[in-house]
Homo-oligomer: A and B are copies of this chain.
């Protein structure tokens, strides 16, 4: 990749339109044609464009400033360099097996739940993951040991109002087209207050589980409607 330190302006047109007035910034141009314009603040670049299927062309404008244009089907970004302080090329080849190992993801929580469902829902058996509800796949499907009623389980790391909407979408559709006796529950490491309110208001049970990838796990807090029939 190339790292350019320059006083530059930037113009972007595509999903929105943005313009950056002249200023000193860092421009990072990657091997895959991605470009990032950074200043000293925060994780996100001031301006950027994905390299997917984009081409790079370098020109000089009427003022003699060097311009780099990144162009794809639907987007274009131009960096106008009023003054270049430095430019270096550095190699950071993409990793194959040296990639990122990740822990504590929703994916892993799902796996753990599917294998240890009795820890948190002792009256249910795990049936299947990514079960199709008709309105998209729900994370886990379980079934009551006694009544044999299905239970849709939506898993989140952090559950917000949006997660409750998701559960309700799944449950509505499932009850309509598959089984009117279906129930649903929201399981998360963290259920936000607004999500709790909303879920309780709509009679969706929720359950906060204290889980870490290689340690103890337990129910932290939970809520079930009065008429909750397993």
Contacts and interface: CB of A to CB of B under 8 A. Distances in A.
B3 A39 contact: no
B21 A94 contact: no
Contacts of A23: 92-93, 95, 98
A115 interface: no
* Residue in A40, A85, A213 whose Cβ sees the most chain B Cβ within 10 Å: A40
Contacts of A38: 1, 28, 30, 92
Interface in A141-197: 157, 165, 169
A95 B8 CA distance: 12
Given A45-B43, A102-B18, A91 B24 contact: yes
A25 B10 CA distance: 26
* Residue in A19, A32, A39 whose Cβ sees the most chain B Cβ within 10 Å: A39
A101 interface: yes
B26 A1 contact: yes
A19 B50 contact: no
A104 interface: yes
Contacts of A51: 42
A174 to B, nearest CB: 16
A230 interface: no
B40 A92 contact: yes
A18 B103 contact: yes
A32 B98 CA distance: 29
- For the complex of A and B, 10 pairs with smallest distance between CB atoms: A31-B40, A17-B103, A21-B98, A16-B104, A23-B98, A19-B101, A5-B90, A39-B92, A25-B92, A30-B40
